[in-house]
């Protein structure tokens, strides 16, 4: 089979990823997607927009039907609930900076994680964003191919650095796991890599070619192979080596999932919202179509004959306060107004309520103010899923950073803590008072109280105990104590010294 063969699980998940990504991109992507499964080849069932908004009369291929469908599609309003939900969740996570401590050998990753100048904290956000959309992400730790036996000084002088390469779910098209020494490990990963190639005859003409990078583990040795856009092998086996010159006995590639970080594609967290978002869009199309066709009142005049029409309305009928209608005896005039079509509008309202229940926290389903405690209770289920996803992102990056440190000859002392407190913590005054009582009784220390104050955002997290203690020492001046106090002078009855 060719190198671009796709795993069955990949093929099954791809339509889901496509739907959620289109919703995230917005109305342009939604209204441009074509329906691939066209039941009427001679009709309009596969023109732009039909993937998510089927044509009402798909069999009719006439120009009039094309024009009507284009108007039907353009009047429809796509409200991007998926993207707003994703941004809201990311804002909840990254409202506080992540705690990152790296060995000196890989500190450069803080400002250049992928070799192209992307900061590590931005890569964390990208990973969380993609995991919310597709439930899947990939991290490959790579290192430039070099000669064996290079010293650390030679590596440093040549500027050789390990980097973390990110792959969205759609780029990991095939994989395989086997049991190696009693442990389940990745033994093959196929990655799609789009490359821009410049035309030799025209420097401004470029072509996007799809290469494939294959990561393999055979006989306990990890190596790579590179294939061009014609599926031809264009490189010898690339064997990445650690700082000591030894080869790798694992593939330094880690999946990120919404449930866990194994090779199996997880459910896209925002897929359910995307499905309802599309249904809401279809209701909007029907509502706008109905409003356009029958929304304008139609004048109706009864009791006229042709002679009266020719004499009085030969130039047409004008409506409004600045004109009048001359009618014969017993004739009548009225405006025909269609009753409001509330079914599509009601459908949109129900779908908005459904999205609230699924987890769209930025869509308000009540007119009144909601307390912070009530909001926490209402979004507990949502936040547990979000928290699990962030834990997976954190674990995957910790593993990737440790691999990068092995490439660079550093240690494994990597610290990464992504914020998991999605709401501002509040401190109950009674609880704070009881905590002070516990300190007075010697059951807890000052550090415990300050930790509580930091959790409640009453104390800046950057103000360490050492800084606070130093400030207190500067404020509290020592009191001078007299070693030989002078006895007070006795006073007489009138208050004068005796």
Mean pLDDT score of the chain: 84
Cα angle 197, 200, 205 (rounded to 5 degrees) comes to 60
Say if 22 falls within a structural domain. no
Q: Which residues, 6+ apart, have CB-to-CB distance to 166 below 8 Å?
A: 114, 123, 126, 127, 137, 138, 139
Q: Does the pLDDT at position 363 exceed 50? A: no
Between 163 and 150, the higher pLDDT residue: 163
Predicted local distance difference test score (pLDDT) of residue 27: 95
Looking at 40, 59, 75, the residue that finishes a domain is: 75
Quote the CA–CA distance of 341 and 335 in Å, as a whole number: 18
Say if 235 falls within a structural domain. no
Q: Does the pLDDT at position 125 exceed 90? A: yes
State how many domains the chain has: 2
Residue 365: pLDDT band by 50, 70, 90 thresholds? very low
Say if 476 falls within a structural domain. yes
Q: Is 86 helix (H, G, I), strand (E, B) or coil?
A: helix
CA atoms within 13 A on the CB side of 492: 4
Say if 488 falls within a structural domain. no
Domain extent at residue 440 = 424-483
Q: Does the pLDDT at position 368 exceed 50? A: no
414-428 as b/e: b if 16+ CB within 10 A: bebebeeebeeeeee
Residue 146: pLDDT band by 50, 70, 90 thresholds? low
Q: What is the pLDDT of residues 168-224, one digit of tens each?
A: 999 999 999 999 888 899 999 999 999 888 877 777 888 889 999 999 999 999 999
Element of type H or E holding 197: strand 183-198
CA atoms within 13 A on the CB side of 395: 15
Say if 447 falls within a structural domain. yes
Q: Does the pLDDT at position 231 exceed 80? A: yes
Looking at 40, 75, 110, the residue that finishes a domain is: 75
- List the single range of 36-45, 133-142, 373-382, 483-492 with lowest mean pLDDT: 373-382
**Residues comprising the chain, all counted:** 498
Say if 311 falls within a structural domain. no
HEC string of 248-307 equals CCCCCEEEEECCCCCCCCCCCCCHHHHHHHHHHHHHHHHHHHHHHHHCCCEEEEECCCHH
**DSSP conformational letter for 236:** P
**DSSP conformational letter for 106:** G
Determine the distance from the C-alpha atom of residue 119 to the mean position of all C-alpha atoms in its chain, rounded to a whole number: 17
Q: What is the pLDDT of residues 19-63, one digit of tens each?
A: 999 999 999 999 999 998 777 778 888 899 999 999 988 888 899
| Helical ranges in 42-102 per DSSP H | 63-75, 81-93
Highest mean pLDDT: which range of 233-237, 288-292, 335-339: 233-237
Looking at 75, 106, 137, the residue that finishes a domain is: 75
Say if 52 falls within a structural domain. yes
CA atoms within 13 A on the CB side of 340: 5
Say if 112 falls within a structural domain. no
CA atoms within 13 A on the CB side of 430: 0
Judged on CB neighbours under 10 Å (0-12, 13-18, 19+), 351 is buried
Kindly write down the DSSP assignment for every residue of 127-188, as one continuous string. Answer: HHHHHHHHSEEEEEEE-----TT--HHHHHHTT---EEEEEEGGGEEEEEEEEETTEEEEEE
Q: Does the pLDDT at position 326 exceed 90? A: no
Cα angle 32, 21, 259 (rounded to 5 degrees) comes to 160
């Amino acid at each position: 089979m060719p190198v671009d063969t796709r795993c069955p699980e990949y093929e099954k998940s791809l339509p889901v990823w496509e739907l959620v990504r289109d919703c995230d991109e917005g109305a342009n992507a939604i209204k441009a997607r074509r329906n691939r499964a066209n039941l009427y080849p001679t009709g309009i069932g596969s023109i732009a927009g039909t993937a998510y908004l089927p044509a009402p009369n798909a069999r009719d291929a006439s120009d009039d039907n094309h024009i009507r469908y284009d108007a039907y599609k353009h009047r429809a309003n796509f409200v991007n609930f998926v993207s707003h939900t994703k941004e809201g969740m990311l804002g909840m996570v990254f409202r506080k900076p992540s705690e990152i401590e790296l060995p000196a050998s890989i500190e450069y990753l803080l400002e250049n994680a992928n070799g192209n100048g992307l900061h590590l904290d931005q890569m964390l956000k990208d990973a969380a964003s993609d995991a919310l959309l597709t439930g899947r992400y990939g991290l490959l730790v790579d290192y430039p191919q070099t000669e064996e036996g290079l010293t650390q000084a030679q590596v440093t002088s040549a500027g050789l650095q390990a980097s973390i390469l990110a792959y969205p779910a759609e780029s990991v098209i095939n994989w395989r796991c086997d049991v190696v020494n009693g442990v389940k490990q990745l033994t093959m990963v196929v990655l799609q890599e789009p490359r821009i190639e410049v035309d030799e005859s025209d420097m401004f003409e470029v072509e996007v070619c799809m290469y494939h990078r294959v990561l393999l583990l055979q006989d306990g040795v990890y190596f790579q192979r590179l294939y061009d856009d014609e599926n031809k092998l264009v490189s010898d086996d690339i064997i990445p080596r650690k700082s000591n010159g030894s080869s790798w006995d694992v593939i330094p590639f880690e999946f990120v999932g919404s449930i866990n970080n194994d090779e199996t594609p997880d459910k896209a967290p925002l897929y359910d919202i995307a499905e309802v978002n599309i249904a809401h869009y279809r209701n909007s199309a029907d509502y706008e179509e109905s409003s356009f066709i029958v929304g304008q009142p139609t004048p109706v005049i009864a009791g006229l004959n042709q002679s009266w029409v020719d004499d009085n309305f030969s130039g047409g009928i004008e409506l409004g306060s600045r004109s009048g209608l001359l009618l014969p005896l017993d004739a009548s005039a009225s405006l025909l107004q269609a009753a409001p079509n509330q079914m599509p509008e009601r459908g949109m309202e129900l779908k908005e309520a459904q999205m609230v229940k699924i987890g769209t926290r930025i869509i308000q389903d009540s007119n009144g103010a909601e307390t912070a405690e009530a909001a926490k209770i209402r979004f507990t289920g949502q936040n547990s899923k979000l928290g699990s996803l962030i834990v997976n992102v954190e674990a995957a990056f910790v593993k990737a950073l440790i691999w990068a440190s092995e490439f660079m000859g550093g240690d494994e002392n990597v610290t990464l803590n992504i914020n998991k407190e999605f709401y501002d913590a509040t401190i109950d005054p009674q609880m704070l008072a009881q905590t002070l009582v516990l300190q007075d009784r010697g059951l807890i220390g000052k550090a415990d109280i300050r930790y509580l104050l930091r959790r409640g955002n009453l104390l800046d997290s950057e103000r360490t105990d050492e800084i606070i203690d130093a400030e207190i020492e500067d404020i509290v001046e020592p009191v001078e104590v007299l070693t030989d106090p002078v006895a007070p002078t006795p006073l007489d009855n009138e208050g004068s010294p005796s």
